[in-house]
Amino acid sequence: MPEPTSPLTEFIRAYEQATNSHDITQLVPLIAPEAVYWFSDGSHRGREAVLSAIAETFATIRDEIYRINDLEWIAHGDGHAVCRYRFTWTGTIDGQLRSGSGRGTNVLVNNAGTWQMLHEHLSA
């Protein structure tokens, strides 16, 4: 019998894959219209603001590879789910190979049968 969180984990892996595509259009359906993201550079409210911030990251960190590890579902139900995890990234900034890591917390919402990111909080 599959774990009750299997569809949620599949969503996170699809989100990770879309992020690593560096194609902002792949992220559009995965982010809720009313999403709020908290990054180290500030807060971004609404899907368009979130996508703009992500596009800026793609422009700054070339060839970035983003990985989500130690994924833990701390709450989940039919309409909402919350997870926390550790992340790593590697990429090129100003011609130099760079890397980093941190922690993340995400809130997912089920909109008409489709999971979407409602909130993401990343910290070092």
Provide CB contacts within 8 A for 70, sequence distance 6+: 85, 86
CATH number for the domain running over 6-123:
3.10.450.50
3-state secondary structure 84-101: EEEEEEEEEECCEEEEEE
pTM (two decimals): 0.93
When pLDDT is cut at 50, 70 and 90, the band that residue 94 belongs to is very high
Q: What mean pLDDT comes out for the span 101-112?
A: 98
Summarize pLDDT for 37-47 with one digit per residue, the tens: 999 889 999 99
Residue 61 DSSP class: S
